[in-house]
Amino acid sequence: MINLQPVIHRGKTNAEGFRFAIVASRWNDFLTSKLIDGAVDALSSAGAVEADVEIFMVPGAFELPLAALKAAQTGKFDAVIAIGVVVRGETPHFDYVAGEAAKGVSSVSLETGVPVMFGVVTTDTVEQAINRSGLKAGNKGFEAAMAAVEVANLYREMTATENKGKGKAFPHVV
Ligand code: INI
């Protein structure tokens, strides 16, 4: 019999009082625009206001990590949402573009402590990309933005807990 009942922390899905950067690529912009719309829709429905969401456009997914790093380094944002579309059929260097985008975005998170969401659709075909950009298989921009709201809440709570009892202020508690 298990008596132990650990506390489970889950990030709330309330975006009020948080700031978000969206870094998005123009490559396949007929789809990235849909992903951006999905992300903004998610943030708005979670309670974010216009002044708390900024969008930074870059040429392609390969440029997303540095844009995410620069956004994170401003210290203005609680989370960054990286958005792009890379289709295998369109490029012989798919693995480099998609791989570097994923690796880079992940290392920005770890190096800065600012969560960076991977809202990059990587598919074999344009049709699959279309389906993940607002049609049959959902909208990856929306999903990434909801994940951003969740982890922003969770990490703010964790930072407050971490500082508890150490005589520090609670810098992230509003
Ligand atoms: N960038 C993308 O975001 N998606 C792609 O499918 C793509 N293809 O097919 O090549 C792509 N290439 C551009 C790349 O991201 C850089 O912008 C470019 O190499 C300049 O650094």
Distance, CA 112 to ligand 1 centroid (Å)?
Answer: 25
Could you confirm whether 93 is annotated as catalytic? yes
Distance, CA 94 to ligand 1 centroid (Å)?
Answer: 8
- Is this prediction's pTM over 0.95? no
Q: Which atom of ligand 1 is nearest the CA belonging to 61?
A: 3
Which residues face 80 on adjacent strands? 21, 116
pLDDT of residue 164: 60
Q: Which residue of the set 9, 76, 93, 103 is catalytic? A: 93
pLDDT of residue 166: 54
pLDDT of residue 165: 54
pLDDT of residue 132: 93
pLDDT of residue 89: 83
pLDDT of residue 173: 44
Output the CA–CA distances (angstroms, integers) from residue 1 to 4, 5, 7, 63, 173, in the order listed. Answer: 9, 12, 18, 52, 38
pLDDT, mean of each 10-residue run, the chain (174 residues): 90 97 97 97 97 98 98 98 92 89 98 98 95 88 98 95 55 44
Ligand 1 probe mutation, 27, 33, 121, most atoms within 8 A of CB: 27
pLDDT of residue 47: 98
